[in-house]
Amino acid sequence: MVPVLIGVTIIVFVLIHLIPGDPALSMLGIHARPEAVTALRHNLGLDKPLWEQYAIYLGNLVQLDLGDSIKYKQSVASLIPKRMTVSLLLIAYATVLTVAISLPLGIMAALKKNSIFDQIVRSLLMVTMVMPAFWIGILFLIFFSIKLGLFPVSGYGEGALDHLHHLFLPALTIALSIAPILVRSLRGSILEAMSADYVRTARAKGIGEQVVVTAHVLRNALIPAVTLLGLSVGYLMGSTVIVERVFSLPGAGALLVDSISARDYPVVQSMTLIFAALVILVNLLTDLAYSFLDPRVRLG
């Protein structure tokens, strides 16, 4: 995990050097005074050798110093907590909805394999899988917010309940783009578990079908689904960037996009780093959950 983290910092560090021409000039715009450009270049450490720049960057990171935002004129570290709260709430909400949608659908589709229900679920999933998240979001806005007036068109609201109300459509939008993958995997692993020897044994012992399904099939079939859910967190975070934009939410993804148009590269750099760090963290947690759920797996 540590080598991966170091690799991630290297990529994020290199990112700013991909800017064609002079990053400092690019950030301040072509009309900037030369002294200001030189000052910023010095400030960013761009006039030092590359390895030294990286060493300074790492040193700052360890002290949680992510540099200063050019647009907001404050430290990036101070910008992030408020924005990240919105995004994390959205991600958690979307995860809950994803599970709430996928679990019953996946189980039903597998238990009633090849029934009309199964066919409909699978055809629908093929459609939702290729729907761009922002398009679903806009359709939701048109239908539920504008036509029916059930949900606010934008914003984040005040207070916990209001947040949940405001974030419902965005979370549902994200959930719909992830649920297909989860349902598909769930259905597959349930079908596989159903044909396993231990299920046949359980049935042969005369255990009721309901117990067979819940205690024997699901217990085993849920494990790959949990892993998959953990692995889709990266995808989830990518979606927040777009969905926050559609629903005008003041989240971390929106901060990233705004910073791009403002050429606020220290923020772009930091957000990329934080999202990657979160993915690494979630992957670690998924591995832990895996060994917790499946006694056959022990982490060495």
Partner 1 sequence: MTAANDGGHAAQVLRSRPDAIPFVSNDESGASGAGLAGTVKKRRSRLAAFKQRNIYVGGAIVLAVVLVALLAPVLAPRGPQDTDYGARLKPPSREHLLGTDNLGKDTLSRVMYGARIDLRVGILCVLTPFVVGLALGCLTGYYGGRIDSVLMRLLDVVQAFPFLILVIAIVAVLGPGLRNMYIAVALVAWVTYARLIRGEILVAKHREYVEAARAMGMRDRRVIGRHILPNVISSAVVYAMADIILYIVLAASLSYLGLGAPPPEPEWGALISEGRGFMATAWWLSFFPGLAIVITGIGFSLLGDGLADALRPSRR
Q: Do residues 239 and 76 make contact, with C-beta atoms less than 8 angstroms apart?
A: no
How far apart are CB 220 and partner 1 at their closest, in Å?
15
Tokens of 91: 């991600």
Nearer to partner 1, 143 or 164 (CB): 143
Q: How far is the CB of 236 from partner 1 (least distance, A)?
A: 8
Cβ count within 10 A of residue 124: 14
- In this structure, what are the phi and psi dihedrals at residue 126, rounded to the nearest 5 degrees? -60, -35
CA–CA distance, 66 with 274 (Å, rounded to integer): 10
Distance of closest approach, residue 65 Cβ to partner 1, in angstroms: 20
**Closest approach of partner 1 to the CB of residue 56, in Å:** 19
> Nearest Cα to 153, choosing from 164, 137, 136?
137
The token pair at 120 is 């409909």
Tell the smallest beta-carbon distance from residue 231 to partner 1 (Å): 9
By beta-carbon proximity to partner 1, the closer residue of 131 and 289 is: 131
222 burial class (0-12, 13-18, 19+ CB within 10 angstroms)? buried
Using the minimum distance from each CB to partner 1, give the nearer residue, 19 or 163.
19
**212 or 268, CB closer to partner 1?**
268
Site residues (vs partner 1, CB under 8 A): 3-4, 7-8, 10-11, 15-16, 18-20, 113-114, 122, 126-127, 129-135, 138-139, 141-142, 146, 181, 185, 188, 191-192, 194-195, 234-235, 237-239, 241-242, 245-246, 256-257, 259-261, 265, 268-269, 271-272, 275-276, 279-280, 283
Closest separation between CB of residue 247 and partner 1, Å? 11
Tokens of 104: 């019953």
DSSP code per residue over 17-65: GGSSS-HHHHHH-TTS-HHHHHHHHHHTTTTS-HHHHHHHHHHHHHTT-
Tokens of 213: 């399904």
Burial class (CB in 10 A: 0-12, 13-18, 19+), 88: middle
143 vs 71: CA distance, rounded Å: 36
Beta carbons within 10 angstroms of residue 216's beta carbon = 19
* 8 A C-beta contact, residue 12 and residue 272: yes
**Is the CB of 12 or the CB of 218 nearer to partner 1?**
12
132 or 208: CB nearest partner 1: 132
Supply the minimum distance, in Å, between the C-beta of residue 276 and partner 1: 5
Task: Pick between residue 155 and residue 164 the one whose CB is nearest to partner 1.
Answer: 155
Looking at the Cβ atoms of 130 and 299, the one nearer to partner 1 is 130
Minimum CB–partner distance for residue 159 and partner 1 (Å): 27
